Chains A and B, each alone.
Chain A
């Protein structure tokens, strides 16, 4: 008896190997995952381009203003709160660190540059994702599973034009504005901790900012915030819009998972794209 023949794994007599065979399974799995990822990226890109195409429609202004209120105006409080404490912590930490080198006068520039170039756009994007992004996914997801999006199709209303484009344009307008608010309040927070609480000279704090921060830094921060706006709006809308296509769940559970997925994906993509955009702008 040939021992090896009984345990041989693989094709015999020119037989084709099924992708489900134990040997090919890991490769098939990787292949499927990659294909799936490529498909989703392609589909998201088409989704984004369709949404961009309808941003400037005749009847879009009112809907965009409405969305600016939901995404932007209603996020101001949380953005102000987070930015104030971020600025205060930055001021506190940098004051003590720079004091060791006798450079406490540079606290203002350190706080402001950190906020304007990095923390402002990134934290604003993450906070809006948590507050408005999740709501967008849940709203669109529910509209999908309750056939409201199908109803739009039957009424010959383009659902992407009606639902997605106003949210995308509102995000593109709101993100830089909220980033600006974040930067200003953050710098004020740094002033409170470094000047008011720790006794640094106020004039030195302001002078340091005006000396080291230039328009290019501010513009770069805004460019980042626009990139993040497009990413967050696309990911959140896309996840909700295709909540019914999820393989892992159906109905309300699919909307819940789509919302979680939208928040996690948005945050990860914001951080990844932050590096990419920074490396291109530096």
Chain B
């Protein structure tokens, strides 16, 4: 792995008698999405504010590209911080300025760009963040989701190399939460900045993160990939992850990957050697097209509708499901043979066309603008495995056997779909 972009070495921070961070050590790498998770009030935002220099540590040091901030010259610190943008938890928008003025502010005050160029850059960001209708509105006239997007647009207007997101999804509805995360992931890929997220509530954050840092009891207790976190054995997992999982179940109707793994393990342990089970993999194929053409909200609504129905249908016959990635749902049918599963799938596809497709279509198309056409395909694949067999082999088999089970298009012309 490359040298860390930002590194904390034994950082301690106290407010009066209260120690918020104690001997914190962490590394953040360039070009990645790193998410800091922890309970509410555990000091995640304080950690983030150390990176941008809003708070200074009592002990320890913070290194930027290997160089301690405390030993840098003023000009070097200014140069380092000029690469960083910060999106505040409460947005911190100027309520006396319009959306346009809020987004343009960093360019107007810190650059010598001409008015025309500022206009061009601001309007481009406004279009990207779907704020065209709100250009001349004040923050108080916008919904919470729109305010978040204004804050995001302002954070990205200077093309920063590093963006810090402090609880970017707080106070949003489930669909909007995932939409904001999907937007962050999309921009991160497009603009290739380093994203550092603080979150305490979003299970879907795992789908977009390259690295997870877990803050617990004033210390970083875990640093690693989301997959590594699933096998992490620590009281943190019981306190934090279980609360996230129950939230995820509530939001999407699906189990978390960890819960899915545990259920799977328990179910298969009860089976005798040689007894089989089936795995179904569903994929919403053109998720990126929905995101790009119709918007992040539409994409999340479509995935959510699909997940809810899959869990409802297969849950009734003892199956359990999880989201494997942002557009993939896997369902385990522990007591079904391939023949039974295929017959269940036959019924499922019929019901799917009658009930689910309209719901997914509605989700995906309700935000479509006039003249926009998006074709969406849903694939499903079934594979049978034995209780002793490695589940990943069965999964690969299911993916390779995927076939189209539904297709529709959103074509909005003259206000009709």
Q: Which residues of A contact B (CB under 8 A)?
A: 59, 143, 146-148, 150-151, 153-157, 162
Q: Total A-B residue pairs with C-beta atoms closer than 8 Å? A: 45
B109 touches A162 (CB 8 A): yes
B185 at the interface (CB under 8 A from A): no
A150 touches B105 (CB 8 A): no
Given contacts A147-B88, A148-B94, is CB(A157)–CB(B105) below 8 Å?
Answer: yes
CA distance A162 to B86 in the complex (A): 19
A155 touches B94 (CB 8 A): no
**Residue from B53, B81, B82, B86 in contact with A151 in the complex, judged by beta carbons closer than 8 Å:** B86
B84 touches A154 (CB 8 A): yes
With A155-B158, A157-B105 given, name 15 new contacts (CB 8 A). Answer: A59-B108, A143-B94, A146-B90, A148-B92, A148-B93, A148-B94, A150-B49, A151-B88, A153-B52, A154-B85, A155-B106, A155-B109, A156-B81, A157-B109, A162-B109
Chain B residue, CB-CB nearest to A158? B109
B81: A residues at CB distance < 8 A: 154, 156
8 A Cβ contacts from B16-56 to A: 49, 52-54
A146 touches B92 (CB 8 A): yes
B78 at the interface (CB under 8 A from A): yes
What 0/1 readout, one digit per residue, does chain B (149-170) give for beta carbons within 8 Å of chain A?
0000010001000000000000
B95: A residues at CB distance < 8 A: 146
Chain B residue, CB-CB nearest to A150? B54
Highest count of chain B CB atoms <10 Å: which of A59, A143, A154, A162: A154
Highest count of chain A CB atoms <10 Å: which of B82, B84, B90: B90
B392 at the interface (CB under 8 A from A): no
B110 at the interface (CB under 8 A from A): yes
B110: A residues at CB distance < 8 A: 155-157
A153: B residues at CB distance < 8 A: 52-54
A162: B residues at CB distance < 8 A: 109
B78 touches A156 (CB 8 A): yes
CB distance from A65 to the nearest CB of B (A): 16
Q: Which residues of B contact A (CB under 8 A)?
A: 49, 52-54, 78, 81-82, 84-86, 88, 90, 92-95, 105-106, 108-110, 154, 158
B82 touches A156 (CB 8 A): yes
CA distance A150 to B158 in the complex (A): 17
B92: A residues at CB distance < 8 A: 146-148, 150-151
A150: B residues at CB distance < 8 A: 49, 54, 88, 92
B158: A residues at CB distance < 8 A: 155
Would you mind naming 19 contact pairs between A and B with Cβ atoms under 8 Å apart? A146-B90, A147-B92, A148-B92, A148-B94, A150-B92, A151-B86, A151-B92, A153-B53, A154-B81, A154-B84, A154-B85, A155-B105, A155-B106, A155-B154, A155-B158, A156-B81, A156-B110, A157-B105, A157-B110
**Residue from B84, B86, B109 in contact with A59 in the complex, judged by beta carbons closer than 8 Å:** B109
CB distance from B127 to the nearest CB of A (A): 22
CA distance A154 to B106 in the complex (A): 10
A148: B residues at CB distance < 8 A: 92-94
CA distance A135 to B170 in the complex (A): 31
B106 touches A157 (CB 8 A): yes
B86 touches A154 (CB 8 A): yes
CB distance from A231 to the nearest CB of B (A): 26
**Residue from A59, A147, A155 in contact with B90 in the complex, judged by beta carbons closer than 8 Å:** A147
Chain B residue, CB-CB nearest to A143? B94
CB distance from B147 to the nearest CB of A (A): 12
CB distance from B95 to the nearest CB of A (A): 8
B108: A residues at CB distance < 8 A: 59
Given contacts A146-B92, A147-B90, is CB(A154)–CB(B105) below 8 Å?
Answer: no
CA distance A143 to B105 in the complex (A): 15
CB distance from A250 to the nearest CB of B (A): 13
CA distance A155 to B82 in the complex (A): 8
Nearest 6 interchain pairs by C-beta: A151-B92, A154-B86, A147-B92, A155-B106, A157-B109, A147-B88
Chain A residue, CB-CB nearest to B54? A150
CA distance A162 to B106 in the complex (A): 11
CA distance A59 to B107 in the complex (A): 12
A146: B residues at CB distance < 8 A: 90, 92, 95
CB distance from A136 to the nearest CB of B (A): 13
CB distance from A109 to the nearest CB of B (A): 46
Given contacts A59-B108, A59-B109, is CB(A154)–CB(B90) below 8 Å?
Answer: no
Chain B residue, CB-CB nearest to A148? B92
B88: A residues at CB distance < 8 A: 147, 150-151
A154: B residues at CB distance < 8 A: 52, 54, 81, 84-86
A147: B residues at CB distance < 8 A: 88, 90, 92
CB distance from B290 to the nearest CB of A (A): 32
CB distance from A164 to the nearest CB of B (A): 14
A151: B residues at CB distance < 8 A: 86, 88, 92
CA distance A37 to B52 in the complex (A): 31
Highest count of chain A CB atoms <10 Å: which of B78, B81, B82, B92: B92
CA distance A143 to B139 in the complex (A): 14
CA distance A47 to B81 in the complex (A): 23
